[in-house]
Amino acid sequence: MALSTNTIAYEVRDHRAYITLNRPERLNALTAEMGREIRGAVEEANDDDSVRVIIVQGAGRAFSAGYDLKLYAEGGEDLQPPVWDPIKDFKMMKANTDNFFSLWTSAKPTIAKIRGYAVAGGSDIALSCDLLVMADDAKIGYMPARIWGCPTTAMWVYRLGATRAKRMLLTGDTIDGKKALEWGLAIDTVPDDQLDATVEELADRIVGVPINQLVMQKMMINQAYDNMGLQSTQTIATLFDGITRHSPEGRWFVDFAQKHGFDAAVKWRDQGRFIPDGGGDLPDEADIASLG
């Protein structure tokens, strides 16, 4: 069985369901539609008695580069007005989070196959999967932690513990597959040309287990996370995400993107340039030229 929607491709073979994020021309940047289609594919796989494991991957050279925010950041007041409705914003972002998190709440196990980038909102999808297998040179991280974002799934602390989660979210740095394996975030990391085969070998081990066994083991482990307050932490994270985009510094970032373009604003953020409290003056043309 195979089908394609606007943003994903879905295929079932050999007791596996493959969900492929399918916007390669935008490095599989996320949209609300993609979130809904991911959730629909997860529900389809859970309803299919032939499926025992779900593999999530990206078309082309990346897993996902995060939310498709270029229009949002550059689009002016129509998209991000100075006065905002926090509950409306929360409803929108909670829907996206719940759609991504269907991979975690899925009764059947999920594997993220990561090459290229799984960053920003793309890392939310990856960390919603049960197991991560990465190419050695793949990058994962949440750069909007520097400005204009908070990871709404809140999974960094649950996957890495407090110290390493703080290391990631207080810097916005990314790590490669080898470091992710060392930190226990990835279950395996291999050269890119071995990634597909490695994921299939892991899936082979899983699909030999009866569905009821798989479901019970996963439910038991996930329950431990629920007992640690995962759902309430996600609520706070989703609220904070809206606040970061509408704080004075968040408005500064939007003004930056509207004046110099979203790519320049992101480059400023990701290079670790200073971001002033309260926003302050925007960089001038000479500062922008120094970005390279």
Does residue 162 share a domain with residue 280? no
pLDDT(77) > 60: no
Does residue 146 share a domain with residue 74? yes
Rounded CA-CA distance 233/223 in Å is 15
pLDDT of the residue at 69: 82
- What CATH number is attached to the domain comprising 143? 3.90.226.10
The CB-side HSE value for 125 (13 A sphere, CA atoms) comes to 36
pTM above 0.85, yes or no: yes
Does residue 138 share a domain with residue 265? no
Query: What CA dihedral angle connects 198, 199, 204 and 205, to 10 degrees?
Result: 80
The CB-side HSE value for 2 (13 A sphere, CA atoms) comes to 4
Does residue 272 share a domain with residue 163? no
pLDDT of the residue at 78: 60
Does residue 162 share a domain with residue 239? yes
Query: What CA dihedral angle connects 152, 158, 160 and 164, to 10 degrees?
Result: 60
pLDDT of the residue at 162: 98
pLDDT of the residue at 208: 98
Does residue 126 share a domain with residue 266? no
Rounded CA-CA distance 229/286 in Å is 47
When divided into structural domains, the chain yields a total of: 2
Does residue 230 share a domain with residue 252? no
Q: How confident is the model at residue 81 (pLDDT cuts 50, 70, 90)?
A: confident
pLDDT(1) > 90: no
Q: Of the residues 229, 244, 259, which one is the last residue of a structural domain?
A: 244
Q: How confident is the model at residue 82 (pLDDT cuts 50, 70, 90)?
A: confident
Question: How does pLDDT run across 83-118, given as a tens digit for each residue?
Answer: 889 999 999 999 999 999 999 999 999 999 999 999
pLDDT of the residue at 5: 82
pLDDT of the residue at 71: 66
Does residue 216 share a domain with residue 84? yes
Rounded CA-CA distance 265/283 in Å is 10
pLDDT of the residue at 75: 67
How large is the average pLDDT for residues 11-18? 98
Does residue 43 share a domain with residue 61? yes
pLDDT(2) > 90: no
Does residue 209 share a domain with residue 102? yes
Domain housing 259: 247-289
Q: How confident is the model at residue 70 (pLDDT cuts 50, 70, 90)?
A: confident
Mean pLDDT of the chain: 95
Does residue 192 share a domain with residue 77? yes
How large is the average pLDDT for residues 126-144? 98
Does residue 202 share a domain with residue 253? no
3-state secondary structure of 11: strand
